[in-house]
Chains A and B, each alone.
Chain A
């Protein structure tokens, strides 16, 4: 009987594990999040200013911008959506002070590096093998990395900064959109994902309209 209990305890230690889902099922489309100021009257704005380059978010002390043909395609997609909603773009920087809305487009790309330890305590308990052998591990360090990117779009109210902010020259952000996900090596495919995300951000923000 003791042998039986030993086998039972052994089974307890070997077979149990949470089954991980197959994350390959997840779409490569970017996750699109939007939020807005519910006090903002989007139909009170008629014009907007959109710079011809995208701000790159990185650790550099100096501001850097992305302005190649891919960046222009993204900027044009943002402009197309705003134009369809009835807003008029002011293209000449000389007249940007006449705009009701400012559009800030920013981009962040980063690489995440993962290094597994080479010590026995670093188990992978929840993979396929975990169900049968009680986990598995690498007896040597293993390194891998993945790339992610995020596109941030913001609408700023240029017409009426609140009194508390006026003194500090800060402008209220009345709409915020963030599209994030994995970055792929194929730049054309990656651009398509970003353009789809721009359209999705506006699609789920039907309140953005000059003609309400």
Chain B
């Protein structure tokens, strides 16, 4: 857990430094082209039964700079946790081993990296856009059972297309943010019942943009 907290703090500091760097490094930066996004996130893992249950235990943080009216570039970091309770059953661990237990499964995912957004319309209150995020994915999959459990950490390459809308109700810089996304990461995760190769997710985000 300490390792996870340290990782998160390092990622938070990195994003903070990125933000600070952008603002401090150039007096020519047009702050009207700079956007910071903070989202609440709802996510559901796909294509594996480790924990496919949807949850709202996640956040997304993003900074973007409009290098062109139709192109914004920046960085992001998000995290999410999904849980699933599995009732008591007998698991076959190998050709001779069997284990009877219930399980409380927890999947924690923390991707971070670069993001890009391509606004489709620029002159309206609601500004739809297509976006893509890419970078690294840290995943920690834990199965709690009995008095202990098994845990596995992994790293992988992450990519996530998304479609969203920025809503500026007053025409000012600040506004609301809505986005739906799909993500894929190349992580290989060992669990109590087997290996998961590749992490697929589907979800949406609601938040604010400054």
Contact = CB atoms under 8 A, between A and B. Distances in A.
Given A16-B79, A22-B104, A27 B88 contact: yes
Interface stretch (B11-19, B65-73, B152-160): B11-19
Given A12-B12, A16-B59, A23-B104, A32 B99 contact: yes
B112 to A, nearest CB: 12
Interface in A185-212: 200, 204-205
A83 B197 CA distance: 45
Contacts of B61: 8, 11-12
Interface stretch (B1-9, B116-124, B180-188): B1-9
A4 interface: yes
Nearest to A32: B100
Contact of A33 (B9, B15, B98, B144): B98
B36 A36 contact: no
Contacts of A146: 147
A31 B36 contact: no
Given A4-B36, A8-B19, A204-B90, A19 B83 contact: yes
Contacts of B15: 12
B94 to A, nearest CB: 8
Closest 10 CB pairs of A and B: A31-B146, A19-B57, A19-B81, A12-B12, A31-B101, A32-B100, A9-B16, A204-B98, A21-B83, A21-B104
Contact of B96 (A9, A35, A182, A200): A35
Interface of B: 1, 4-5, 8-9, 12, 15-16, 19-20, 23, 31, 34, 36, 38, 55, 57, 59, 61, 77, 79, 81, 83, 85, 88, 90, 95-102, 104-106, 108, 140, 144-147, 210
Interface in A121-135: 123, 125-126
A128 B34 CA distance: 33
Given A1-B31, A4-B210, A18-B108, A23 B99 contact: no
A192 B30 CA distance: 71
9 contacts: A5-B16, A5-B23, A9-B19, A16-B59, A18-B4, A26-B104, A33-B100, A35-B97, A204-B90
